Chains A and B, each alone.
Chain A
């Protein structure tokens, strides 16, 4: 869909760049010594995730998720819940049956599985693979993410190492805490456009 003008601008930009050769150092290696190391990466993850606004629960088995959620008023009062872990927590909306993502506007809760957590910043890598509408993750009022305690990497270098070439498979997002803003006088408010609250379940032992 590129038109003639854009094509000629492409050539003009590339020509202009090539007419001024610039020498620069080679691309640096990314295997540094002395990176931050945590004695207990899982504890670090839980602490930082909490500090960025998430509620973190350590659980022994997936059966514990339901009762913990039932304690939360926004969960008890929720009308529409979708679960991507139906064996552990049943939902009442099948995401695959929704044709138009706009119909997800009334979604109250989404319970999903995360790939892994990052100790240094409390972020969780999420793939939207297999979920019909990517919007589900952002339009839901409340989000719960389940990860395995064994799946914690220390920092972002290790995170990208782990993601590797799977990054090219469509969409992926690091989520750290609930959506937030401080645009009014630097007062932190949780629940900007995405989820109002993020509940993380860390299952099993590290």
Chain B
């Protein structure tokens, strides 16, 4: 699974949307998570202060990023970690491979990391003969099914338990037809325990890097990052350069927002703070014997480019909570895979065109501009404004498909010529009234699909105004 093929969002969504029952089920599952998030947010009187502060901390950090990166590197090195820098995905993968090869690693356990997905690390390592096991249950499910995660927090949200049962029956030897989540999770626990015990190295992502202390913080519910980094002696942490926060006490703000926004939990089960490598009898004096190595790979891969843009810079504040997906009416009904991008949903539609505008030009239009994403984002990224800005940007770069470009050019002509506008309006109203149904509701007119068009009014607003108000306003 290398680079993803270029597919337009509506075409990619068509398959998901065709199964109405599954679409409704998916929609409901995510709305349920959104409601849990609301309950959590409403339970804290300082919620808006937290969002505002998180946004300010992130903006500040992104502005002073070079200084904070140097501070982080120095502190992490002092703590005994090795810090590496990767300009792009390819360099990131090469660095990780080199570290693994130097330690003669054959088996790796990995906990969830969107960055390694972005870099397509798994297939790269597999090509070099290294076994990589995703240990997050949802990620393991999609890995065994040779799929991709469809959500950044809930990777298997698109898969039904019966399908998980079939996959586990095939790969883990569970009973045929068994679909009880408790039973299936237990089977995965046993299977993955063996993998943890056999691993030579653990790879994790990073939720937060602390510039002041050189520490990294990883949040999970399953405990997989902790097992994967405390059994094998080698820990490689892959981290986008935008993950930094200045001070340890800033974590107070972000740990309060992250899980509440993501899944409606008050905090993740495990919030793990790593300062330096694995040590035996870790102690306050730092007296413990070092029994492992910690490597931190700092990755740019297009992030500096996003920082250059005044418009899109706030998107670097994203803490990958997934709340914007859970609330998005388009995401909920079209599924994560329809975005054909590593990060789907509103934030994915902002970030993906920055990486490859031609491949992802359809994403900013997969949005009704309802603004719900902006309302829930814990770091207050103005997501729907950014999506609108992308449409402008892509149009000016002439990257929109011909059908959209033609329609927009026509609309712009109309808007600039009042007479033409009036005439077109009249024509439209007459046409819609007399056109037979089959001409309106067919497969060529996407606006006539799954919806009834409104009854056209007899007269336009301007006609009505002329008759009813114009004379009065002159009185």
Contact = CB atoms under 8 A, between A and B. Distances in A.
Given A185-B160, A192-B185, A178 B213 contact: no
Given A13-B304, A102-B197, A157 B249 contact: yes
A18 interface: yes
Given A9-B87, A24-B60, 14 more contacts: A1-B84, A13-B241, A14-B69, A25-B60, A118-B267, A121-B256, A122-B267, A130-B281, A133-B280, A170-B276, A182-B154, A191-B185, A192-B185, A195-B223
A6 B224 contact: no
B273 A171 contact: yes
A167 B160 CA distance: 41
B196 interface: yes
A89 interface: no
A126 to B, nearest CB: 10
Contacts of A175: 269-270
B63 interface: yes
Interface in B278-327: 278-284, 286, 288, 295, 298, 300, 304, 307-308, 313
Contacts of B118: none
B133 interface: no
Contact of A174 (B82, B224, B271): B271
Contacts of A79: none
Contacts of B308: 20
A89 to B, nearest CB: 21
Contacts of A12: 87
B261 interface: no
Given A133-B280, A174-B271, A182 B263 contact: yes
Contacts of B274: 171
A101 B181 contact: no
A164 to B, nearest CB: 8
A132 to B, nearest CB: 5
27 contacts: A7-B85, A9-B86, A14-B66, A34-B46, A36-B44, A96-B281, A120-B44, A120-B266, A129-B284, A133-B280, A135-B230, A155-B256, A156-B252, A156-B253, A168-B79, A169-B282, A169-B286, A173-B273, A176-B268, A176-B269, A182-B154, A184-B184, A186-B32, A192-B137, A192-B221, A192-B223, A194-B270
Nearest to B77: A2
Nearest to B295: A1
Interface of B: 29, 32-33, 44-46, 49, 53, 56-57, 59-60, 62-66, 69-70, 79, 82-87, 91, 94-95, 98-99, 102, 135-138, 141, 154-157, 160-161, 164, 181-182, 184-186, 189, 192-193, 196-197, 213-215, 221-224, 226-227, 230-231, 241, 246-253, 255-256, 263, 265-276, 278-284, 286, 288, 295, 298, 300, 304, 307-308, 313
A22 to B, nearest CB: 4
Main secondary structure of the interface of A (DSSP, over half): loop
Interface of A: 1-3, 5-7, 9-10, 12-14, 16-18, 20, 22-28, 30, 32, 34-36, 48, 52, 96, 101-102, 105, 118, 120-123, 127-135, 137-139, 155-157, 159-161, 163, 166-187, 189, 191-195
Given A36-B45, A156-B252, A131 B282 contact: yes
Nearest to B241: A13
Nearest to B233: A101
B222 A170 contact: no
Contacts of A128: 282
B442 to A, nearest CB: 37
Contact of B304 (A17, A35, A131, A183): A17
Contact of A159 (B57, B252, B265): B252
A25 B56 contact: yes
Contacts of A118: 267
A83 to B, nearest CB: 17
A192 B265 contact: no
A170 B249 contact: no
Contact of B273 (A9, A32, A167, A191): A167
B164 A184 contact: yes
Nearest to B168: A184
Given A156-B251, A183-B155, A27 B57 contact: yes
Contacts of B250: 30
A177 to B, nearest CB: 6
B248 A160 contact: yes
A9 B157 CA distance: 37
Contacts of A6: 84-86, 91, 95
Contacts of A27: 56-57, 60, 246-247
B167 to A, nearest CB: 11
A84 to B, nearest CB: 12
B463 to A, nearest CB: 51
Given A24-B64, A192-B185, A132 B280 contact: yes
B40 to A, nearest CB: 10
A179 B282 contact: no
A122 B252 contact: no
Contacts of A173: 226, 270-273
Nearest to A172: B273
